[in-house]
Amino acid sequence: MYSQEFFQEVRESGLPSGGYALFGSAQLCVRGLRSCHDMDIIVTQPVWEACLADGRWVGSVAPSGSPSLKKGNLELVRTWMPGEWDVDRLIAEAETIEGLPFVKLDQVLAWKRISGREKDRDDVELIEQFMQSSS
């Protein structure tokens, strides 16, 4: 599984505590439900601006069409689509797992339901099974 290497990459990225949270498949990866191929990270505006000015982050466009910044296997975004998501609230309410902030699993589930991509439909099943077995 690539996950632990990616989580270490996040730890070594220098992103400030309280300024970011891992979203998307990271919640599944940290729980061992499936492997990851990259790390999607939502960030606050100050973190976005600092990374934009940093020079080590390369401007890109996320699959959703949102502007993104990439460095290695990490991809930062300020907006999360589809849907209307208050990124700053998601970051503030993030849960800490293995020392890293993750958007809450129920929010990831809601987003994956809205997204409707085939891989997200598969993830919805994994999350629902996990939540059932955990309750």
**Alpha carbons within 13 A on the beta-carbon side of 34:** 18
More confident of the two residues 129 and 20: 20
**CATH number (domain holding residue 49):** 3.30.460.40
Is residue 93 one of the residues assigned to a domain?
A: yes
* Confidence at residue 45, expressed as pLDDT on a 0 to 100 scale: 95
- Average pLDDT estimate for 7-16: 94
| pTM score of the predicted model | 0.88
Per cent of the chain over pLDDT 90 is 47
pLDDT band at residue 82, thresholds of 50, 70 and 90? low
In a domain, 132, yes or no: no
Nearest 5°: the CA angle 131, 32, 65 is 85
| pLDDT top residue among 27 and 63 | 27
Decide which of 83 and 128 is more confident: 128
134 falls within a domain: no
**Does residue 56 surpass a pLDDT of 80?**
yes
User: What is the domain count for the chain?
Assistant: 1
* Domain presence at residue 12: yes
Pairing of strands 95-97, 100-102: antiparallel
Mean pLDDT computed over 32-50? 91
